[in-house]
Structure 1
């Protein structure tokens, strides 16, 4: 049995509705009125994430925590593992390849906590779960070798898309020139028998479909190098997410409009190189950026975190109970393609 940890990790500072005195930025959430403030101090830091993971590892018998490598600046990169049965299908969740896309990591922490409780612990009997949270730890902390002057968020740090070497990790899945992508490929993708993956991101605030701002957008692999059977399984994964999120009043998921077929991005490269059914999910709005149209007011944090939790729970459950095999991929035929609001 694992020992209980004495450390207490305080996550209440997310302050989903905190009123902090910072400049107002563009981007109200769907069905949320007003322009809100953005302050990175309410977001979990790298050190807080590590403390949380270590605490949960001590509390949860089913969980294992592995260091898969280090960032450019020497921060340990972590893999959370729930491997209950080698015969179970396995899903990988990946967050924060881009350091300024933080809310997916906040939601993943909530999901990890739930896997140690009665709410979701039963899932682990029939599915193996791997989670790489905050892959771009340096970018998430603004600890980079270039200036972040002009970034818009207030708070104790800026968050940037790029790693410390100013490289976009989600364009590095062929060259693998950076230690973060090397760690992911060598010690996760090539090391485990993974069936499904969800790559969690954030996009700009101005995308709409059917006259409504979207809460997020999804897409399957579009590289010609991906096995058609893998594409079909990826579409099933997307159908599960679409139906789960859109069952909520705040949910409005569309098809992603900036696909691209290059294997350098995870959606294509992971599917092509490893035969893993892969889904991209782009949540609405970023935590920091130079462009006001990309930064979403923090009043939207609550539903965006909830949207990610719904995605994690729904996909894990569908794989665990086998219902993913009958997911209706025809939803892709009628799903609206998002576009920029004029």
Structure 2
């Protein structure tokens, strides 16, 4: 039986150059304004787990090329989904991973828009030359605030209930060696192991007040930084970053810096590159849906451009892999790309 599709109402649009982005209102995660009356993304466009599942099933029914796979269950027993577009196993494959951290939510919303676009004429023909895998939300329990520990230490308002951690209070992006959590185990056992993945972008969020050269960044990127990563894998990771940088920077409203990340292989960007030979890129979008520090939480006005930034990232990397232009991308920009820093005054 087909799942009932939940209709989203469109309440407005954010204009980015000539692009209008509709803002669907779901009220799935919270109600009412918070943080001194400032409406935040927690009570606006975010899909609940059931709404996300309903959306995926609807798209699978509509899209001939799309296949939906359950790769495992979360601590709380929620299904973990993999969206697959595999026309030719010999084609290069990219994996997009979102929401390892439950309070980093807008990239998931962008991934859902991208999935919808893959069933339209806008991306027509692209899938004959590239395989696309998407995990639209890994930390499904943290995204719903359904956890086995008090949330008070991790949220800034009683109206919020998203957490960075999974239901066992574990950071999934520090569990890529031991894989003790069911979510990371499912990712490795049922995606990274069985599928021949060439590229991966791990989509996250960071604080709202990071800057480069005095300008607030819309995000930051980083390739594998462990010494154990293969040189060719790192080069291809840097080329993946070049595609993203060129796509966002050229829009005029996106400002990208270099992320100050560590070298631990418990982190997906590093560990997956070493273990599987996958070229990986971390993309940290601006701001979070929930955090114990108010300054980390995004306001409503940031929704549209961050979702659009995610969609552009997914679109342009798929195009570059499909036409093989990624293989000739110049990586020298990394040598002069400044690290982002934390703005001390607002």
TM-score normalized by the length of structure 2: 0.91
The residue that corresponds to 2:71 in the other structure is: 68
Q: What is the CA distance between 1:37 and its match in structure 2?
A: 2.0
User: 2:11 and 2:40 mapped to 1: Cα distance?
Assistant: 12
User: 2:210 and 2:42 mapped to 1: Cα distance?
Assistant: 23
Deviates more, 1:82-91 or 1:288-297: 288-297
Tell whether 2:228 aligns with 1:217: no
The residue that corresponds to 1:47 in the other structure is: 50
5+ residue gaps, structure 1: 26-34
1:119 aligned counterpart, secondary structure: helix
The residue that corresponds to 1:30 in the other structure is: none
Q: What is the CA distance between 1:154 and its match in structure 2?
A: 6.5
2:167 aligned counterpart, secondary structure: coil
Tell whether 2:315 aligns with 1:304: no
Call closer, same or farther: CA 1:296–1:115 in 2, change over 3 Å. same
The residue that corresponds to 1:9 in the other structure is: 6
User: 1:298 and 1:165 mapped to 2: Cα distance?
Assistant: 30
8 Å CA contact 2:41–2:303 kept in 1: the answer is: no
Q: What is the CA distance between 1:40 and its match in structure 2?
A: 2.0
Q: Deviations over 1:109-164 (max 9, x none)?
A: 00000000100132101000000111000000000001112613575x51100000
The residue that corresponds to 1:321 in the other structure is: 323
Deviates more, 1:227-236 or 1:144-153: 144-153
User: 1:174 and 1:90 mapped to 2: Cα distance?
Assistant: 23
Q: Deviations over 1:15-36 (max 9, x none)?
A: 6498x851346xxxxxxxxx94
- Aligned partner (choices 274, 288, 294) of residue 276 of structure 2: 274
8 Å CA contact 1:36–1:299 kept in 2: the answer is: no
TM-score normalized by the length of structure 1: 0.92
The residue that corresponds to 2:102 in the other structure is: 99
User: 1:225 and 1:196 mapped to 2: Cα distance?
Assistant: 17
User: 2:11 and 2:316 mapped to 1: Cα distance?
Assistant: 24
User: 2:289 and 2:161 mapped to 1: Cα distance?
Assistant: 9
User: 1:249 and 1:304 mapped to 2: Cα distance?
Assistant: 13
Q: Alpha carbon RMSD of aligned pairs, Å?
A: 2.0
User: 2:11 and 2:115 mapped to 1: Cα distance?
Assistant: 17
Q: What is the CA distance between 1:234 and its match in structure 2?
A: 0.0
Q: What is the CA distance between 1:57 and its match in structure 2?
A: 0.6
Tell whether 2:121 aligns with 1:118: yes
The residue that corresponds to 1:260 in the other structure is: 262
Higher-RCO chain (CA-CA 8 Å, sequence separation at least 6):
1
8 Å CA contact 2:3–2:57 kept in 1: the answer is: no
Q: Deviations over 1:17-74 (max 9, x none)?
A: 98x851346xxxxxxxxx9421523211010000000000111000000000000000
The residue that corresponds to 1:231 in the other structure is: 234
The residue that corresponds to 2:40 in the other structure is: 38
8 Å CA contact 1:138–1:164 kept in 2: the answer is: yes
5+ residue gaps, structure 2: 13-22, 26-30
The residue that corresponds to 2:337 in the other structure is: 335
Moved segments of 4+, more than 6 Å: none
8 Å CA contact 2:92–2:131 kept in 1: the answer is: yes
